[in-house]
Amino acid sequence: MQLGADGRVAGAEFIASPNCDPRPPGEAVTLLVLHSISLPPGDYGGEAIERLFTNRLDPDAHPSFAALRGLRVSAHFLVRRDGALVQFVPVQLRAWHAGESMWRGRARCNDYSVGVELEGTDGSAFSDAQYETLTGLTRRLLDLLPIRDIAGHSDIAPHRKTDPGTHFDWMRFLRELTRR
């Protein structure tokens, strides 16, 4: 996996999200945040996630989408169930994935993090292909960015969020990450 000077990963499908902006001047990317998402909840595939991250989701298309009306969010990456990688925001820009958040006493995690969404739910296991893609992506990001920490959305916003959930196998991910 190669990361270009434009902040895009070679081989990832790129779908530009308008839900991003410049990071604060001099801000380094020191945190990787893992999330999970599926739209509608528990449904995989389709274009609903891409539509959400590009402000094209019809809130009337499914009852669960009503709560998302007017929401402006994004992530840098999405890892599909089959391991396909989609990128929405170049890594040098701030994606809007963390919301109100804090890590190690420092607020505004969007300012200094990269967000990776895994297609899934808090209550279901993730696929082997997802772990493989996530591991490769993370290795590349660790090689190129000054990332010091990896956390779940639940770790940076514990009173609001539960993802990536109890079925995300942190031990497996970290074990695979250290293998070369």
Report the alpha-carbon distance of residue 126 to residue 167 in Å, rounded: 7
Question: By the 8 A CB rule, do 64 and 41 touch?
Answer: yes
Strands 149-152 and 31-37: parallel
Element (H, E) at 109: none
Active site residue 117: yes
Question: Which among 13, 47, 100, 117 is annotated as catalytic?
Answer: 117
Pick from 61, 83, 62, 76: nearest CA to 7: 76
CA proximity to 156, closest of 94, 114, 125, 93: 114
Sorted by sequence, the CB contacts under 8 Å of residue 58 that are 6+ apart come out as 51, 65
> Which residues are known to be catalytic?
117
